Structure 1
Amino acid sequence: MEKYGIHLLALSHVYLVPQLKQRCTRELSRRLNTENVLDVLQLARLCDAPDLYLKCMKMLSCNFKAVEHTEGWKFLQNHDPRLELEILQFIDEAEMRIKRTRRNREEQKMYLQLSEAMDCLEHICTEGCTSVGPCDMDPSKNKGPCSKFSTCHGLQLLIKHFAACKKRVNGGCLRCKRMWQLFQLHSSICDKPEQCRVPLCRQFKLKVQQNKRGDDARWRLLVRKVASAKLISSLSLPKRKREDKPWIAQMKTYLEYMDTSPK
């Protein structure tokens, strides 16, 4: 099989011997290298062996720099430009998929961070933490770092700055703008504004209701992504902990509403 695998694959295809063809395909897949991958690829096209063809294409995509210096690639460029174009298109599409996957992961990470910031904001405004809390509740006596959220300390500093900043009124403070956006994002996700203790939650809700056009499409997309990230992260919890969080079902209802509401 090692010596005559290519010949046997061609014969098994011509004489319709499927079991031999499958065996040849498996063996050739195991013995692929940068020197023979182009020959096997051309044979896979001629013999209608899609699994072997895909295996060759993936190997070319991963080892193209080594393959393009071989005699087989030079021969292919001179005698089969159509296959050359096919290979280059496959490599380009593979690179685009990798970039798209990486970008999606980075975006998902950002949405998860925003989701955690929303949870942390509710934690600070409802329970209070080391130095910031509701007006009717003393901050925690524990002055150490918050054990619930990694972003808690930074968010507390941002809230303190927001409360004392004098540039906020004129809209000239970037940190205050970020805090304002966090409040607005929370309000867009919150489904109980009457009971919510996060500042400006009800005000933002009323503003959206008064504005007939509602939020713009980009903001709605951000809200939906953050809500989805929050729901996905909650589904990774054990079942008992999920049952202790009634907002999970509420979040599902909210996402369904976002799907059916007018854009």
Structure 2
Amino acid sequence: MDFWTYDFLIFAAVGFLAQLIDGALGMGYGVISSTVLLATGVPPAHTSASVHAAKLFTTAASGTSHILHGNVDKRILVILCITGAIGGVLGALVLVNAPAGVIRPYVFGYLGVMGLVIIWRGVMLPASKTVSGKLIAPLGSVGGFLDAIGGGGWGPVVTSSLIGAGAPPRYVVGTVNAAEFVVTCAVVTAFAATIALGMWADSKGIADHVTAIAGLILGGIPAAFLAGWLIKVAPRKPLMIAVGLLICGIAGWEISKVFA
């Protein structure tokens, strides 16, 4: 089998499984995809840009699916779109100016923490209640910022926090997925602007990851269309715990190599 084809199929499989999990949990696509790319040696900024390029397509499909299935809270959606986009742009600008070798261990550390957050939220799912807009706005900003820095984290931060605050899981997952498309557009625009303006010194070579991007897109889109249905039938707790353990395992392994 041709090497390009083999790589494409691997990333397509990663994209499909990651988006399938994301559709059920409202988190997982960015974190899993970023962890895999980083583990293969892709620089942090290139990883985030590549994953967000793929997420343009998968979040559009997933958000549409959730809207059609009536899983979206319009009040929360508007707040998350605005604040998440602002945080995402700031995160992208910070990331492109950070040395790849220095930031890599910290990004893996952050992803490992997100894995622990997913496990914790999987164990502690509280009863549903209305969440104040005073929590949603800063949460969107922080989620967007960390998502841009780590290539994933919007879902683990925003979804887990809203569910932890007592918001109904079905509407949290649907709304966060729908808002993620707007946040992703903002982050991709910021990355593109830094390249066009010459602000991203290490942007050379990002086109080398087209195979990974294409695989993540074409693997993720079919799974994204299942998102609206999957949230109604997937066993949330065991799935969240399994995903969290997977992310922590990969992140822990990569961090251990830094200190080896």
With the shorter chain as reference, the TM-score category is under 0.3
Q: Which has the higher helix share?
A: 2
When normalised by structure 1's length, the TM-score is: 0.25
User: Larger relative contact order (C-alpha < 8 A, sep ≥ 6)?
Assistant: 2
Compare CA radii of gyration and give the structure with the larger one. 1
